[in-house]
Amino acid sequence: MKVGVVTFPGSLDDRDAARAVRIAGGEAVRLWHADSDLHGVDAVVLPGGFSYGDYLRCGAIARFAPVMESIKKAASNGLPVLGICNGFQILCEAHLLPGALTRNQHLRFRNREQWVRVESSATAWTGDYQDGQEIYILIKNGEGCFVADEETLDMLEDNGQIVARYVHGNPNGSMRDIAAIRNEAGNVVGIMPHPEHAVEALTGPSLDGLGFFTSVLKHLSGGSEKE
């Protein structure tokens, strides 16, 4: 299975996302922001970083990249898309996901290991987790505070679109402790913490992040997705 990892100018965790895909058993394919061709990939990861410097608003420029047009189209046809950190911000800016990511309430960049509870295993990226499973991964962001109006938040709750919540402490002030959400169809997921940095015992706080990448591979091979 081929999983594309997009490199925007300023993407930083692109090689890490590709490594995670490989460790999970997939083939990582590098996609370039200026190239609208998705090169036949079966899924796409938008990695962390500071696309275009994020000087305007995180993800605000990246959403206009040629590759994003193709991804938006393919996503509407069911292509699994995972946005991590800056990727989550881009998905919100591109209106593939509702809400927005704003500055952390304490106004500082924060890198720490973090407990997260998986609330929905009914997505292309979380099928390998149990609902309610707590995983130990990490956050590293300056603008990770998820916000939306009450109506949208209620809708996300009601539809089961909240994929993960921070537990044992909310690191950035996110509304309703939201760490990750999905679109209605469940193929597009945005997550603020970094599962791709929890895939190797030597470099991560745990191996708990690997499930995102094994899940999508199973999903693609018609495996264990729970609907």
Partner 1 sequence: MSIDTVERAESTPDELQPFAELGLKEDEYERICQILGRRPTQSELAMYSIMWSEHCSYKSSKIHLKQFGEKAPPSDRMLAGIGENAGVIAVNDKLAVTFKVESHNHPSFVEPHQGAATGVGGIVRDILAMGARPVAVMDPLRFGAADHPDTARVLPGVVGGIGGYGNCLGLPNIGGEVVFDPSYQGNPLVNALCVGVLPVDRLQNKAATGPGNIVVLMGAKTGRDGIGGVSVLASATFDEGSEQRRPSVQVGDPFIEKLLIESCLELYENKLIVGVQDLGGAGLTCALTETAAAAGTGMDVQLEKVHLREASMEPHEVLASESQERMLFIVEPSNLDAVLNVASIWGVIATPIGVVTNTGRVRITWHGETVVDVPPGSLADDGPIYARPLREPADLILLQADRAETLPRPTDLRETLLTLVASPNLCDKTWVTEQYDRYVLGNTILAQPEDSGIIRIDEETGLGIALSVDGNSRYTRLDPYDGARLALAEAFRNVAVTGAEPVAVTDCLNFGSPEDPAVMWQFAEAVRGLADGCQELGIPVTGGNVSFYNQTGATAIHPTPIVGVLGIIDDVAKRIPMGFSHDGDLLFLLGETANEFSGSEWAWVTHQHLGGRPPKVDFGREQALAGFMARTAELGLVRSAHDLSEGGLAQALTESCLRKGIGANVTVGEDAFVALFSESASRVLVAVPIGLRQAFEAVVAEQEIPLTLLGTTGGTSLVVKDQFEIPLDELRTAWSSTLPKLFG
Just list the catalytic residues: 85, 194, 196
Stretches 11-19, 63-71, 88-96, 161-169: which one binds partner 1 (CB under 8 A)? 11-19
Residues 30-89 that bind partner 1 (CB under 8 A): 48-50, 52-55
Is residue 202 helix, strand or coil?
A: coil
Check: CB of residue 51 under 8 Å from CB of residue 86: yes
Q: Of the two residues 74 and 198, which places its CB atom closer to partner 1 in the complex? A: 198
Token duo for residue 155: 């809708």
Least distance to partner 1 from the beta carbon of 127, Å? Answer: 24
Stretches 68-76, 120-128, 136-144, 218-226: which one binds partner 1 (CB under 8 A)? 136-144
Q: According to the binding rule CB under 8 A, does residue 173 interact with partner 1?
A: no
Residue count, binding to partner 1 (CB under 8 A): 29
Token duo for residue 21: 């895909």
Is residue 82 helix, strand or coil?
A: strand
CA dist 211 and 120 (Å) reads: 13
Stretches 13-21, 37-45, 151-159, 183-191: which one binds partner 1 (CB under 8 A)? 13-21
Q: According to the binding rule CB under 8 A, does residue 138 interact with partner 1?
A: yes
Q: According to the binding rule CB under 8 A, does residue 103 interact with partner 1?
A: no
Q: Of the two residues 104 and 126, which places its CB atom closer to partner 1 in the complex? A: 104
Stretches 125-133, 138-146, 147-155, 213-221: which one binds partner 1 (CB under 8 A)? 138-146
Q: Of the two residues 95 and 108, which places its CB atom closer to partner 1 in the complex? A: 108
Check: CB of residue 22 under 8 Å from CB of residue 200: no
CA dist 15 and 2 (Å) reads: 15
How many angstroms separate the Cα of 120 from the Cα of each of 111, 131, 206?
25, 5, 20
Residue linked to tokens 């593939």 = 96
Start-end of H helices in the chain? 14-24, 66-76, 86-93, 150-158, 210-220
Q: According to the binding rule CB under 8 A, does residue 110 interact with partner 1?
A: yes
- Cβ neighbors of 87 (< 8 A, separation 6 or more) are 6, 45, 46, 47, 48, 190
Q: According to the binding rule CB under 8 A, does residue 112 interact with partner 1?
A: yes
Q: According to the binding rule CB under 8 A, does residue 190 interact with partner 1?
A: no
Residues within the interface to partner 1 (CB under 8 A): 9-10, 12-13, 15-16, 19, 48-50, 52-55, 108-112, 138, 140, 142, 194, 196-197, 200, 202-204
